[in-house]
Structure 1
């Protein structure tokens, strides 16, 4: 059985999906789209169920990728049943999507979620009356507490196994509209393949001149005979819905549409008329199942938003929240990071002792101690920082606060010519640039999405911040270190703002799209909803530690150890550094720094592991690696290194993600070149400016 999970954003779909599928889920991208695809397997009553969590969307038009993916899945894959999630505290707008779903799929089960929040807001709902009004099964659930989820699935299975489709209530359009819909249906019903799909829906979309139905095929100039042959061949294929729908433009109906336009019925008129009819229908049936109590006391959400969304207090609150996240990520996690470092050092000593006991070759002992553990061990000390950051981020996202932060950030984003949702993406990048780049999927405008992608690498991620904090602690101890870290973050923010204005010109963004975002009710996230995404993202980082970083550490060890018996600057790594030294010399960098910067491209964490190997520090606390640099660099050179390291080319994973999300090799290459050039220009200015002012 195939079940689709559909609903507006922030209605609790992820909570239900995670509760039902657990670890039996796969996450990827929809083919040809930058929208995330989540699918999971469930075993119930001798059935193997594939549950697909479709992107959160407010409607099924064709304006965003989320809308297109959702409706194409329902049309192409024809799921046995659709589980429609509805926010009980905001049911009127949520039912608009449900009515659109019912035009595509007759087998639908509604899950009335957040019943507890609705009750606290003075909303009483009668699920039985809603069932009668739409002739659709309705189940009351409180997903955050695990209430009703199994019943929701059981009802979906029951409906999916029905021998006949239930007769759902159709939206009663005004008579003038019904005449036009019927006329279009009559023109389409003679098409051989049209009966496979909802004819009424096809007629509605044809009247709306839906951009996904044929507009791109108007320029097809093949002879009619070849078109007919191609259509006949194509339309026998189960994977040919796109071609079928796009060829509606060539079917009878152009004359009819022309006559409607002469009457004043344009594309926008039809869209608005259909939307008005749906909302009128909802307002008619709403009193049958909803009672809104008159609460004199404001709700918890209203009370909190008076402060959190205030133009005066909202920004200080946001700064305090972000400060708490960074404090917990970097300060509170320090003992855990130290424990990991000590554990890795103990493991290295144990393995080295074991290898020496069995009289293993010296190069193997060196590989384990000076290569693998010196490299990977230094990086694993960041795992507590990353895990804590992602846990806080998941909590803030699921609680409803991040939507408010994006709302507040929209004012700042406007100054940069960006969309408010870009703020959400840029904040995500403090954890890791990869999810930050992927978070641009929430931006509807492709140009907004591209600009935000190109800006993301200018935000220092947790691994970069970890390396930076280690170097800062060695060169600028005490209060000076805090001021230095603050100055680095301010440089990053300033360059993001300047680069945003520059990118607008390069990408040729002339108009900024409107900012529309739902502000969900506040609620306490479940432990599962916080821990599951935290584990998934941390596990992804750990996989990188044992793939990219392990491989890079071994390569660096090989380059710095051979030929054997020669000074470090005569090894292969030393020779590579000599070739690169002319680039770093104007910034005061020696060859070791340049080699570390180059290897940092594989993963930013490898910069620290590379320095650990090149400076001869065995698996130990990252602080020791930074201290080993103090003998080779002055404070001014160290600060220049920190700036260049913070800004230069993003890691390999970020580059690959940028290419996948943008689909453009040209823009990906532009982003790499921009970061590389910008970092060295700013580094040169700081180094020579510092020397001119007498700093060393």
Structure 2
């Protein structure tokens, strides 16, 4: 059995999905789309059920990838039943999507969530009367407390096993609009699509000249010899190749032209249909909703007076983000140190056993100086990453992150960006990969592309960890805090400059409006915080045992062979010699250049590479940074920090940018831009510092 989980954003859909599927989840992308695809397997009563968490959306038009993906899944995959989540505290807007779902899927069960919040707001919903009004089963749930979720699933399974599809009432449209819909239905009734899609829905979409439906109609089989004058359509499911035939007239084209002559264009039809649906909702609303007076002020109203205040909102946001970064980078330091010590102890134990087994010295060196020195230095960042993502999930699940994006919209507008870009940039502090993927919330493709390209300028947790170690070695005490703040400010300034620059490079016809729903505040569930945290941390750990492990072994080989020669005469030393002419103007020695090159595989490998090249054990990243003090001056160290913070994003970020943008050209441009920008800024800082007498 296939069950689709649908609903508006922020209605508790993720909570229900996580409770039902637990760890049996698969996360990926929909084929040909950059929209996240979540599915999970559930076992109930000896039956296997696939639960698909469809993207949150407000409607089923064709204006965003989320809407297209959700609609296409219902149309083409035809799930056995749809579980439609509805926010009881905002039921009027939520029912608009439900009416659209009922046009496509005959088997629907409504999960009425947030009943407690509705009651607090002075709203009473009679679920049994709602079920009668729509002729659809309704189950009351409180997702945040785990109440009613199993009953919701059980009802969905029952409906999915019905022998006949329930018949839902059609939305009554005004007579003039209804006559036009029926006329289009008659024209389409003989086409092959009428056997595949609901005819009434198909007629409405044809009147609205839906662009996705239009493209499907224009696809004509290359080898098909149908008479186009009588049968201008084809079966999109036929196993034949298609080509776009712009000259082919779509079904009902003449009728649409006649309607346009009467003033009924595509926008007119779309607005008329939407208006009719909302009027129908307003008509049936009194049957099941009771507004009690006086309406109580909710906790959301009280908190938003402060959090969204133009005076207090920004200081509160700074305090919250500062706490997040403090816990991520300062409070987690003892945990990172414990991981480093544990890795050093494990390396010693393994080497002792290897010596007892009389294994060759070269193998012992590989394990101690290659694998453990490389991977061990990187695993020390795991506590930082886990804590950051835990706080990020906490802010998202509580409803605060949407408020932060709202407050950040003013700064985003100064940069020529959309307010939702704030999500991407904040995510980038944890890891640029989810930061780039977070651009999916942006509807405009140009806003998405620009935000993608500037995201790698945000220093991620691994980069911040390496930077912190270097800062502590070269700038001890209070100077270190000043240096770190200056680096972050420089990053922000360059993000703003780059956004304004790219706004001119990436052409855009018109800006999209900033529209974002502010969900009600609620206490985050442990599952909704820990599950995303584990998924993101596990993704990082997989990288540590793939990219970083391989890179550490490669660096060890390059720095160990030929054996018996000084380090600068090894293969790594020769590579550094070839790159020396690039690093000399910036005060970098060959070790720094080799580390920068290997940092492309993953930013964490910079520290492990330096540990191997400087011959420092894996027991403390601090000692690696201290070993650098003999290789460069404080000015050179600051230049290194700037270049390291800004230069080429890691391989995973580059691959993610390509997958999200689907453009090799823009991906290459982003890599080249970061590389050139980092070395220009580094050169200016190094030579500017020398000009003013800094060393």
* Aligned twin of 2:187: 187
Once the 2 structures are TM-superposed, how far is the Cα of residue 234 of structure 1 from its aligned partner? Answer: 5.8
Q: For the structure 1 residues 308 and 248, does the alpha-carbon distance in structure 2 shift closer, same or farther, using more than 3 Å as the test?
A: farther
1:504-540 C-alpha deviation (Å, 9 max, x unpaired): 1111135321000000000011000000000000000
Contact conserved, 2:232 with 2:251, CA < 8 A, in 1?
no
Distance 2:295 2:100 in 1: 35
Structure 2 counterparts to residues 13-92 of structure 1, below 5 A: 13-92=13-92
Once the 2 structures are TM-superposed, how far is the Cα of residue 46 of structure 1 from its aligned partner? Answer: 2.2
* Aligned twin of 1:462: 461
* Aligned twin of 1:443: 442
1:341-361 C-alpha deviation (Å, 9 max, x unpaired): 111111111111111122211
Secondary structure of the structure 2 residue equivalent to 1:9: coil
Find out whether 1:606 has 2:605 as its counterpart.
yes
* Unmatched runs of 5 consecutive residues or more in structure 2: none
* Aligned twin of 1:534: 533
Contact conserved, 1:419 with 1:448, CA < 8 A, in 2?
yes
Find out whether 1:474 has 2:491 as its counterpart.
no
Find out whether 1:206 has 2:209 as its counterpart.
no
Distance 1:87 1:56 in 2: 13
Distance 1:239 1:588 in 2: 62
Find out whether 1:511 has 2:513 as its counterpart.
no
* Aligned twin of 2:326: 327
* Aligned twin of 2:627: 628
Contact conserved, 2:87 with 2:114, CA < 8 A, in 1?
yes
* Unmatched runs of 5 consecutive residues or more in structure 1: none
1:431-464 C-alpha deviation (Å, 9 max, x unpaired): 0000000000010011100000000000000000
1:54-106 C-alpha deviation (Å, 9 max, x unpaired): 00000000000000000000000001100001111111100000000000011
Find out whether 1:272 has 2:308 as its counterpart.
no
Contact conserved, 1:429 with 1:459, CA < 8 A, in 2?
yes
Contact conserved, 2:111 with 2:141, CA < 8 A, in 1?
yes
Secondary structure of the structure 1 residue equivalent to 2:209: coil
Distance 2:622 2:172 in 1: 71
Find out whether 1:141 has 2:141 as its counterpart.
yes
Distance 2:491 2:562 in 1: 40
Q: For the structure 1 residues 155 and 216, does the alpha-carbon distance in structure 2 shift closer, same or farther, using more than 3 Å as the test?
A: closer
Secondary structure of the structure 1 residue equivalent to 2:346: helix
Distance 2:359 2:84 in 1: 63
1:586-629 C-alpha deviation (Å, 9 max, x unpaired): 00000000000000000000000000000000111111111111
1:107-156 C-alpha deviation (Å, 9 max, x unpaired): 00000111121122221111000000000000000111110110000000
Structure 2 counterparts to residues 114-513 of structure 1, below 5 A: 114-215=114-215, 225=225, 235=235, 237=237, 250-295=249-294, 297-513=296-512
1:630-670 C-alpha deviation (Å, 9 max, x unpaired): 11111000000000000000000000000000000000000
Q: For the structure 1 residues 219 and 340, does the alpha-carbon distance in structure 2 shift closer, same or farther, using more than 3 Å as the test?
A: closer
* Aligned twin of 2:110: 110
Distance 1:484 1:175 in 2: 71
Once the 2 structures are TM-superposed, how far is the Cα of residue 236 of structure 1 from its aligned partner? Answer: 7.6
Distance 1:657 1:80 in 2: 34
Alignment length (residue pairs):
695
Secondary structure of the structure 1 residue equivalent to 2:267: helix
Secondary structure of the structure 1 residue equivalent to 2:617: coil
1:23-43 C-alpha deviation (Å, 9 max, x unpaired): 111111011100001111111
Secondary structure of the structure 2 residue equivalent to 1:124: strand
Once the 2 structures are TM-superposed, how far is the Cα of residue 190 of structure 1 from its aligned partner? Answer: 1.3
Secondary structure of the structure 1 residue equivalent to 2:499: helix
Contact conserved, 2:640 with 2:682, CA < 8 A, in 1?
yes
Distance 1:619 1:325 in 2: 28
* Aligned twin of 1:6: 6
Once the 2 structures are TM-superposed, how far is the Cα of residue 220 of structure 1 from its aligned partner? Answer: 7.7
Secondary structure of the structure 2 residue equivalent to 1:106: coil
Q: For the structure 1 residues 690 and 244, does the alpha-carbon distance in structure 2 shift closer, same or farther, using more than 3 Å as the test?
A: closer
Contact conserved, 2:420 with 2:441, CA < 8 A, in 1?
yes
Contact conserved, 2:457 with 2:495, CA < 8 A, in 1?
yes
Give the root-mean-square deviation of aligned CA atoms.
2.1
Contact conserved, 2:9 with 2:58, CA < 8 A, in 1?
yes
Distance 1:461 1:216 in 2: 42
Distance 1:413 1:315 in 2: 14
* Aligned twin of 1:674: 673
Once the 2 structures are TM-superposed, how far is the Cα of residue 382 of structure 1 from its aligned partner? Answer: 0.4
Once the 2 structures are TM-superposed, how far is the Cα of residue 196 of structure 1 from its aligned partner? Answer: 2.3
Distance 2:242 2:147 in 1: 43
Distance 2:414 2:52 in 1: 39
Secondary structure of the structure 2 residue equivalent to 1:205: helix
1:258-310 C-alpha deviation (Å, 9 max, x unpaired): 11111111111111110010000101111111112224542100011111111
Q: For the structure 1 residues 85 and 195, does the alpha-carbon distance in structure 2 shift closer, same or farther, using more than 3 Å as the test?
A: same
Contact conserved, 2:599 with 2:605, CA < 8 A, in 1?
yes
* Aligned twin of 2:578: 579
Q: Normalising by the residue count of structure 1, what TM-score does the alignment of the two structures yield?
A: 0.97
Distance 2:101 2:295 in 1: 36
Contact conserved, 2:111 with 2:139, CA < 8 A, in 1?
yes
Q: Normalising by the residue count of structure 2, what TM-score does the alignment of the two structures yield?
A: 0.97
